Structure 1
Amino acid sequence: MNDEDFGNIERMEEDLYSRKSPKKIEHRDTRVHGEHEEIRGDWEVSAKESSPFILAPNAESSIMKKIFIFALLFFGASLLLAALIFFRGTNFVSANNISIVAKGPVAVAAGETVSFEITIANENTSMLDNAELKIVYPEGSEDPTRPGEGHSRETISLGSVPAGGKKIQKIETILFGEEQSKKTIEVAVEYRVAGSNAIFEKKKIIEVAISSTPLSLIIKALDEVNSDQEVVLEIEVASNTTNTIQDVLLKAEYPFGFIFATSEPKAGSRNLTWKLGDIPSGSKKKVLIKGTMQGQQGEVRTFRFSVGNESKKNPGEVSPVFLTTSHEMNIKRPFVGVDILVNGKSASVVNVVPLGTDARVDLSYVNNLPVGIADVEIVAILSGSIINRQGIRAERGFYNSSDNSIRWDKTTNQSLSNLESGASGRLSFTIPFLGVSEALQQKIQDLKVNLAVSVQARRAEEGNVPEKILAATSEIKAVSPALVAQRLLFSEGPFTNNGPVPPKADVSTTYTVTWTASSALGDIGQALVTAQLPTYVSWLGIKNPLDEDLTFNKTQGKVTWNVGKIPAGAGYSSSPRSVSFQISLLPSLSQVGQSPIVVHEAVLTGRDIFANVEVSAQGSAITTKLSSDPQFRDGDDRVRN
């Protein structure tokens, strides 16, 4: 080892153990490499090599300063707010600290008075000012202090409710509704707080179940009917409460195929409603409905009836509904089907017969069963005072005048001994109607005949058990004839007439024409009388009475009298409807020696109100022959030269 190398070793050793040596100790790789790699001795890192997740020292310091400043500010504000609340108090009121408690029944009978005790508790640290209790009652509720009056809303002043204090208020109402229905009463407390004009609110919902209804509804009707058979329903509405139920309304829902006929009492709008009025405690009211049910075998038809108070907002509607009841009817095919024809027309249409004529009735029957039947008996029951009982005739049947029945059985018609499946036949009889004079003498008011046909027989394969049904019904209405007449007057009547009598050619003579309209037994509505005037007759525009609706169409030369209603008995038991008007006749030389027509035929048309059919009548034309004038002499009617 030379001196130079030894000196280097001593310097390295000195540097190694010295605390003040600024020199860096180089690391030398002892491994053998193909190429020499230089090892960097500093700690600098380039921008490309830096991690994106490492914050620069200046940025990190800035964020921490901001967080620290925000924390200081928040802490200071909290201290300030706490100090204000502690030293000065607060007006903050929370609705969560206000409770509403309702004590009362969960179920009540409809129509009975129900009461609740409402407790309002203020658990806030501040008072509730100008507090009000607002109640919204269910629709149809009534005020117990004013029975019959609605009770929809109520406002009760509570005044101030101190912090930690309570207010107790009692409320009462009468609830109505269907059994087991739920009714809700909405209770709300409105209040203000000191230093604010705003109105705050706390709500509470009270639910009450209707345990029973104040009215009962019973439907009495057949469970099975034949198609086209008369249906009778009896509806009974009775009170179940100690209070009087006011303004009770019954409403019906008819099934498809039901044809309404009549009801007692008379039905209201569209034959669907009945105003039963007030029903006192323990009382009941009845409604009787008659109609006809049409349908196919096996069909089920449902009648529904609702009862309750009549709505004040919508008259004719039930609100609230106390009770809804339904009744099902099964339509069955009769074991023997019977069809009725009156003068060749089906009994399903209006059958009308003029007084004084006969009605021919045909009964068509058929066995609808898949098996034969034996000992068939068909009975027709007649009712009506307008029948001329002495003239009833039945083909191969027996008329019993004691009960107004016509009977057909195997003793009068051998074919009724056994009737095989699908076998059919026809029976006939005649019903004569009384004439007008006879009906007037007997003072008959009812002009209809009711016909009911029943069938009884034994089923051969069911132990010979007899079966009887009401197979068919029909109604025949008699129509009273209307009459119209016209008379010509000269010396009498409401007007003064002038001119030559007998009439003279080319010289005018005035006459009075009087029309009368009559009806013996039935009211006639929408009556109208019309007639034409010849070209040589002029309308003078004078009528009597002045209030009669009488007009003349100059273009058509037609006089029209709008009579309106002709009451029953007019022209018979009372004066006929009448009107008079004046005309002028100017005869021609071509009419010398003749009695010229002054008014052509008068035609009356109208509608028989009872039978609901059109009626008409015709009055003969009138000439110059003054047969109704007391001063008329033979020859006064012929035109002279």
Structure 2
Amino acid sequence: MPLDDLQKKIYSKDTDLTGREHEESQFDPLVSTESDAGSFAKEKAWQKKSDELSPYKVKSLRTVIWAVLGMIVLGVAVVAIYRYQKGAYSEERVTFEISGPISVPSNQPMRYTLSYHNDNRVSLKNVSVSLNYPDSFQPEEGNGLKKENQANSTIELGEIAPYSSGSVEFVGQFYAPAEAIVYLNAKLRYNPGNVQSLANIERQVGVQIKTSPLSLELDIPYQVASGDKVDYVVDYRNDSARTFNGVRLTIKYPQGFEFDEADPEPTSDENVWELGTLEPGSGGRISVTGSLTGMMNDSQVLAVSLGSAESGSYVEYNNQERITKIVSSPLTIGQQVAKGKKIVGVGERLPYMITYKNVGEVGLRNAIVTVEIDSKVIDYTKIRLKKGYFDGEKKMITWKAADYPDLANLKPGQEGKIEFELDVLPFVTVDSDKDRNFTIKTLAKIDSPDIPTPINANKIISSNQLSLKLKTKVIFEVRGYYQDTQIPNSGPLPPRVGQETTYTLHWKVSNLFNKIAGARVVAYLPTGARWTGAFKPEDGQVSFNERTNQVVWEIGDLKNGVGAIRDPKELVFQVGVTPQINQVKTAVEILKPSIFTGTDTFAGQPISIQLRSKTSMLDEDIATDDKFRVVP
């Protein structure tokens, strides 16, 4: 039967399935139940046989079970060991503290304790303590403490055993201003057990200073009228057992203060004194004078600082402040020299004008005006007064109503003026190093019995101080010689055309009153003149520029008294000139004008002095009297 026909017969809807012949099978739905029961019995017999394991499989299974159990045991052991080791050390079980006094006097030995405790199962190894502190604390070496530098020290502790405690002490002294707070820092460093990493614990303690090793006492006026003279007195002292080097005292003046003078003189800037070494128990005094101006009821603050710079950086050990109150006065007074001059020279005449005024609301009777003069350089024999009286012993000029009638009753708003003249001495002697920085001070005052005196206060008397500075006197000379003992000369005399004649020149400088900074002398040689290179002193700072013919002598700083109590500064040098035919019968030029320059450090003024040129006609050398003109 073809396949197509067979497929149609099998899948036809009219096909009789019952008539198909086939073998019996357990899968045939028409098979009896007996056949099913026999098949089930056979299946159970097969299953029962398959549950039995072979010896090889049993052995493999046991191996796997033991491997799993081993891994579990190993994991538990690793976890247990890890937890044990982790529990052997904890930073929280290491404690470190610094203890000691927190309020101390300066310059007294103070003891501090560093306490530590290790509550771990492992040792702490390579243990050390690092101390850090400011310059105001100085620890003592010993008991394991070793100074590393000015601000750091180390204490080696070695090893700290498990569950153990210990402590170490160090001693030091504080040097700081009273009320200052000094911080001490301590750091415990260690290796936990055999671990290479470094752990640390930091602690800090603040210590307040009750007293200072260097004491200060200030004496200043409690109140003044605006423009009045004020005197500040500062006493300092080393109250400790330690020697201080590089001691410095600095004053910060009130805003309205005008500096006049100080004793001793400031080292710099009118307010800094380098005091050097201050031994135990030693001290000194600084007095400052000036004038103070300000608005009524102003509080003017004076601040003084005392410290040491011996360690390279300045450490302040004491500071003090005081206040002066500006109060009003019904009378005002002022003074000035013509044109507001503040720097004067020897031999000058100084015209003064005093002005006064009643700025109050009521009249003031019987006013008296005085001027006190304080100076070593005034010619008191030549004081010129139109009116008034000069007391030579007190060096005071007084004017009353007998001289100026308006002083009998000064009405509100009324003002007046008084004139007089002072002469500066034409010659001021310098006998010692103290004869320097001369001033001319005049203190003008006006008072009336109608001005009340407040309770528990000084009477308010209006005053005004004026201070003039005397500029230094410089004597600059240039001299020339043919016959000279220091540098011998050669060549024809009188000078001859075509032949070189040498001359020796002397620059000499004297400085009397004040220090001069940056002193120098400059001149030019005439074109055609020759710089021989010979000069004395041989170590003098001298230079010659061949292209410009400029000669420069760098003197530097000149002290006062040079030429009086000290030898004058002098430079000797030689110049050669060869006259030409056009110079016959004339004096040949040797040196062009010489110029001295510098700065008067006290007067704060530049100095410049120019001298005329030098020729072969040398008045100071008799050998050239009639032999200075050029001959053929």
Distance in 2 separating the partners of 1:86 and 1:594: 114
1:497 maps to what in 2? 490
1:155 maps to what in 2? 155
1:233 maps to what in 2? 232
Q: Let me know the Cα RMSD of the aligned residues.
A: 4.5
Kindly indicate whether the alpha-carbon contact (under 8 Å) linking 1:141 and 1:174 is maintained by their aligned counterparts in 2: yes
Matched, 1:401 2:392: yes
> Which residue identity is paired with 1:497?
S
Matches within 5 A, 1:560-575: 561-564=553-556, 574=567
Distance in 1 separating the partners of 2:466 and 2:107: 44
Go from structure 1 to structure 2 and tell me whether the alpha carbon gap of 1:78 and 1:253 turns closer, same or farther (over 3 Å shift).
farther
Go from structure 1 to structure 2 and tell me whether the alpha carbon gap of 1:334 and 1:100 turns closer, same or farther (over 3 Å shift).
same
Counterpart selection for 1:445 from 431, 435, 448: 435
Matches within 5 A, 1:204-219: 204-219=203-218
1:412 maps to what in 2? 403
- Identify which range, 603-612 or 214-223, moves more after superposition: 603-612
Deviation at 1:369, TM superposition (A): 2.8
Deviation at 1:231, TM superposition (A): 3.9
Distance in 1 separating the partners of 2:558 and 2:233: 36
Go from structure 1 to structure 2 and tell me whether the alpha carbon gap of 1:322 and 1:539 turns closer, same or farther (over 3 Å shift).
closer
Deviation at 1:361, TM superposition (A): 2.2
1:112 maps to what in 2? 108
Kindly indicate whether the alpha-carbon contact (under 8 Å) linking 2:470 and 2:603 is maintained by their aligned counterparts in 1: yes
Go from structure 1 to structure 2 and tell me whether the alpha carbon gap of 1:374 and 1:608 turns closer, same or farther (over 3 Å shift).
same
Distance in 1 separating the partners of 2:423 and 2:502: 44
Matched, 1:123 2:113: no
1:357 maps to what in 2? 348
Counterpart selection for 1:368 from 347, 352, 359: 359
Counterpart selection for 2:535 from 544, 551, 572: 544
Go from structure 1 to structure 2 and tell me whether the alpha carbon gap of 1:392 and 1:78 turns closer, same or farther (over 3 Å shift).
farther
Distance in 1 separating the partners of 2:431 and 2:157: 78
- Tell me, which stretches of 5 or more residues in structure 1 are unaligned? 1-72
Counterpart selection for 2:447 from 450, 454, 457: 457
Between the two proteins, the alignment pairs up a number of residues equal to: 550
Matches within 5 A, 1:209-358: 209-238=208-237, 243-244=241-242, 246-247=244-245, 249-260=248-259, 263-264=262-263, 267=266, 270=269, 273-274=272-273, 284-308=283-307, 310=309, 312=311, 315=313, 317-318=314-315, 321-346=316-341, 350-353=342-345, 355-358=346-349
> Which residue identity is paired with 2:138?
E
Deviation at 1:477, TM superposition (A): 1.0
Counterpart selection for 2:131 from 122, 128, 136: 136
Q: Secondary structure at the match of 2:529?
A: strand
Distance in 2 separating the partners of 1:250 and 1:293: 21
Q: Secondary structure at the match of 1:544?
A: strand
- Tell me, which stretches of 5 or more residues in structure 2 are unaligned? 1-68
Kindly indicate whether the alpha-carbon contact (under 8 Å) linking 2:544 and 2:552 is maintained by their aligned counterparts in 1: yes
Kindly indicate whether the alpha-carbon contact (under 8 Å) linking 2:297 and 2:326 is maintained by their aligned counterparts in 1: yes
Go from structure 1 to structure 2 and tell me whether the alpha carbon gap of 1:584 and 1:330 turns closer, same or farther (over 3 Å shift).
same
Kindly indicate whether the alpha-carbon contact (under 8 Å) linking 2:363 and 2:412 is maintained by their aligned counterparts in 1: yes
Counterpart selection for 1:517 from 490, 500, 508: 508
Counterpart selection for 1:487 from 480, 488, 512: 480
Deviation at 1:89, TM superposition (A): 8.8
Deviation at 1:305, TM superposition (A): 3.1
Distance in 2 separating the partners of 1:258 and 1:180: 28
Distance in 1 separating the partners of 2:592 and 2:560: 27
Q: What's the CA shift string for 1:33-83, capped at 9, x where partnerless? A: xxxxxxxxxxxxxxxxxxxxxxxxxxxxxxxxxxxxxxxx9xx99994799
Matched, 1:384 2:375: yes
Deviation at 1:393, TM superposition (A): 1.4
Distance in 2 separating the partners of 1:567 and 1:209: 47
Go from structure 1 to structure 2 and tell me whether the alpha carbon gap of 1:570 and 1:280 turns closer, same or farther (over 3 Å shift).
closer
Go from structure 1 to structure 2 and tell me whether the alpha carbon gap of 1:625 and 1:186 turns closer, same or farther (over 3 Å shift).
closer
Q: What's the CA shift string for 1:252-280, capped at 9, x where partnerless? A: 44443445555555655655555556666
Counterpart selection for 1:579 from 572, 580, 583: 572
Q: Secondary structure at the match of 2:381?
A: helix
Deviation at 1:605, TM superposition (A): 3.9
> Which residue identity is paired with 2:162?
P
Distance in 2 separating the partners of 1:491 and 1:118: 81
- Identity among equivalent positions (%) equals 17
Deviation at 1:453, TM superposition (A): 1.9
Go from structure 1 to structure 2 and tell me whether the alpha carbon gap of 1:443 and 1:120 turns closer, same or farther (over 3 Å shift).
closer
Go from structure 1 to structure 2 and tell me whether the alpha carbon gap of 1:169 and 1:607 turns closer, same or farther (over 3 Å shift).
closer
Go from structure 1 to structure 2 and tell me whether the alpha carbon gap of 1:402 and 1:430 turns closer, same or farther (over 3 Å shift).
same
Q: Secondary structure at the match of 2:360?
A: coil
